[in-house]
Structure 1
C-alpha cells in the first residue's frame, strides 16, 4: 500500500522542464546551452576518421600495426604540427604534401587502408596509395573493419584510439604529467582487468578533449560520405 507521504517523496520539488528553452517546436535542455560546449557522436564522427588504423592492425597484427601507424603520424607531425594527422580526412586533404614529404618506404607500409577506401568511397584523393584488391574485396574489408572497430566500449575501438594518443605523445602533441600516462599496454594485452578499464576511461576522456573541437566542414563531409556509402553497400541481415 502506498501512502500519501511516499507519493509526495517520489515527486520532484521543481518543474520537470525548468531550465529548458523553447526554440519554435524544440525544447533545448540546459546542458546543451552551456557556452563553448561541443557534443560529438563517437560512431558518427570519430570512427570514420580513425578506422584506417584498424585496417593496419588487422593486416600487420596488433603490435606491428600500432608501431607502423604511430610512426606514420609522427612523421606527418614533423612536417606540420598544426594539422590533425590522425584524421583520415586531413591526410586525404593534404595528400600531395604527404606524398612529397614522406619516404616511399613509410607510404608503402600504410597505403593499404587508403587504397581500400579509395576503391569503396568517392571521397578520398590519395594517388600515392596502390593495391591489388578488387572493389568487391575492398567492400568486404571495409564492412568487416566497421563491425570490428565501431563499438566504443570494446577493445578494438579503444586500441585504435590508443594508437592516436600514443602517436600524439611521441610527437609532443599531447603532454602527460608524471604518472598520468594511461596504461595502453593493459588495453592491448590485459583486456578485462581493472587496469585496462581505468586506461580505457582515460583514453576516451582524452579523445573527447580534442575530437569535438577540431572537426572541419571537410571532416564532416567525409563522415557523412563514409556512413552513407556503407549503408549502400551493406546487405540486409535477417
Structure 2
C-alpha cells in the first residue's frame, strides 16, 4: 500500500469537554459530520471505481494513467451527459453505448485487466459486460485474488493508489465542464499524472485531488443495490484471512515475591491482633489490603496475567489503594468515616438481599441468601441499615483519586481496565474478536472462540500497585525495613520471548 504521512495524534487538551463528553476538534466545527456509508470511500465509492484501480494495477501507474485517460475520454464522447465514472452508472447506459465503450477497452488490450470483475458482473446480471470481458483462462481464484489485491491497495482513501483512482474519477467529471477550478488547482492537476509520488509537488497535489474528488458527490446519486450486491458477492466468494495478536506469555517466576508478600501480611495481621484488635481503622485498612492481596494471589496461582481477569485484578488493586488513601485523608473531616464506610457496603448487600427475598433465587445461585443475611446483620440489625445507592461519600472513584493525588493512576490504568469489568466494546474488541485481513470482508472481526488472543501481561502493573499499597501501610504502621525491602525492591526481569 502506498505510504502517506501520518497525521499527528490529537492531544486530549485539543478536545472540547462538554456535558461529560470529550469532543474532537473536527466534530466541534459547525455543520461538520461524517459521510453516510454510501458516500464514504471504502463502502460507497471504492467499489464503483474499482474498475479504474484494476487498470492501474494491471499496467502500473504510468501506463495505467495513460490508458485510463484514453478510456475516460472515450466514455465522455460516448456518454457526454454522464457526470461520474461510477461503474453502476456505466452499466445502466444504453446497451449499444456500453458495447462501443467495452469494445474500445478490449481494442486497446485492457480486457484482461477488467476480467476479474466478471466474478460478480456475470452474464445473468450484466450480459454485455460479461460477454466482452470474460476470460476463461482466468480461474475464479485468479479473479478473486486480483480483486482482493487491488482492494487491499485502495481501501485507505489516502493511499497513493486510491488517490490515483480519485484523480481519474475527478478528471472524468471535469470533462463535463460543470466544475470550474482555480488556476492553482488546475496547475496541480496537470502536474499530477506527470509527477512521481515522491516528487515535492505531490505533497500539495494529492490533498487537492482528494478534496476536489469529493465535490463529485454533489452531482451524483448512489446506487444502494449495486453496492449491496458488490459487497455480498465479494465477501461470499472469498475466505476469511484471520490473524491473531499474541503478546508474550507470562512465565516469569515471582514465587519469591509472593512468599515475601505473604510474610508482610502475616506481620501486619499479627501486629493488629497484638496491639489493638478493636481498632476499627486498622481493621478496615488491612481488610481492604488483604482483599487486594487475595485478588493478586488468585491471578498468580492460576496464571491469569495475560487474561481478561488479570485486568480486572489491576482495576481492583487501584480502587482499593485509592479508597485506603481517601479514607485516611478524610477521617479528620468526616465523623465516623470508618463506621460509615462499613455501613455503606453492607447497605448495598442489604439491597441485594431484599431483592432476592422478594423475587427468590435458585439454591444453586452463587448468592447464598442465609449467609448474606448473617453478614448484613453481623453487628447491626438490618432494620437500622440504610441503603445508599450513590457513591460512598458522594464522590466517584475519579474524584477520590484526584483528591488523594492519584489522578494519573486512575486515568492511565483504571479507566482502561474498567472497560473489561463492564464489558465495553473496546475491551470486547481487544480480547474477544479476531481480525480478518481480507479487504473483501471490509476487514471485519470474528469471535475468538478458541481463545487465540493473548493479551499483554498485567504482572508489572499488579506489582506496582501492590507495592504502592504496602508503602502506604508502611507509613501508617511501620513494616520492618528488611521485610518491606524484599518486596518493594523485587526485580521483575524483562520477558524473554
TM tier relative to shorter chain: 0.7 to 0.9
Alpha-carbon distance in structure 2 between the residues aligned to 1:38 and 1:57: 26
Structure 1 segment 28-177 matched on structure 2, within 5 A: 31=31, 39=36, 40-94=39-93, 96-102=95-101, 104-109=103-108, 110-121=110-121, 123-125=125-127, 126=129, 127-131=131-135, 132-170=137-175, 172=177, 174-177=179-182
Judged with a 3 Å threshold, the aligned counterparts in structure 2 of structure 1 residues 78 and 173 are, in CA distance, closer, same or farther, namely farther
Alpha-carbon distance in structure 2 between the residues aligned to 1:73 and 1:183: 20
Map of 2:226 onto structure 1: 222
By how many angstroms is 1:99 displaced?
Answer: 3.9
Q: Deviations over 1:154-181 (max 9, x none)?
A: 1010011111223334554544332321
Q: Deviations over 1:190-212 (max 9, x none)?
A: 42555323212211111111225
Q: Would the aligned equivalents of 2:49 and 2:87 in 1 still touch at CA under 8 Å? A: yes
Match of 1:178 among 183, 194, 200: 183
Q: Deviations over 1:99-129 (max 9, x none)?
A: 4434834434343354321224555441322
By how many angstroms is 1:16 displaced?
Answer: 7.0
**SS in structure 2 at match of 1:49:** coil
Judged with a 3 Å threshold, the aligned counterparts in structure 2 of structure 1 residues 190 and 76 are, in CA distance, closer, same or farther, namely closer
The answer for unaligned runs of 5 or more in structure 1 is 1-9, 18-29
Pair 1:210-2:210 in alignment:
no
TM-score (norm 1): 0.73
Judged with a 3 Å threshold, the aligned counterparts in structure 2 of structure 1 residues 166 and 235 are, in CA distance, closer, same or farther, namely same
Alpha-carbon distance in structure 1 between the residues aligned to 2:104 and 2:188: 30
| RMSD of aligned Cα (Å) | 3.2
Judged with a 3 Å threshold, the aligned counterparts in structure 2 of structure 1 residues 231 and 176 are, in CA distance, closer, same or farther, namely same
Q: Would the aligned equivalents of 1:158 and 1:187 in 2 still touch at CA under 8 Å? A: no
Q: Would the aligned equivalents of 2:54 and 2:113 in 1 still touch at CA under 8 Å? A: yes
Q: Would the aligned equivalents of 2:76 and 2:172 in 1 still touch at CA under 8 Å? A: no
Map of 1:199 onto structure 2: 205
Alpha-carbon distance in structure 1 between the residues aligned to 2:152 and 2:102: 32
What is the number of equivalent residue pairs in this alignment?
212
Judged with a 3 Å threshold, the aligned counterparts in structure 2 of structure 1 residues 168 and 84 are, in CA distance, closer, same or farther, namely closer
Question: Which has the larger Rg?
Answer: 2
Alpha-carbon distance in structure 2 between the residues aligned to 1:173 and 1:137: 40
Judged with a 3 Å threshold, the aligned counterparts in structure 2 of structure 1 residues 74 and 16 are, in CA distance, closer, same or farther, namely farther
Q: Moved runs in structure 1, 4+ residues, more than 6 A?
A: none
Map of 2:389 onto structure 1: none
Shifted more, 143-152 versus 59-68: the winner is: 59-68
Alpha-carbon distance in structure 2 between the residues aligned to 1:144 and 1:133: 15
The answer for unaligned runs of 5 or more in structure 2 is 1-14, 22-29, 244-497
Q: Deviations over 1:112-149 (max 9, x none)?
A: 35432122455544132232311111011111010011
Alpha-carbon distance in structure 1 between the residues aligned to 2:199 and 2:63: 23
Shifted more, 128-137 versus 168-177: the winner is: 168-177
Shifted more, 137-146 versus 78-87: the winner is: 78-87
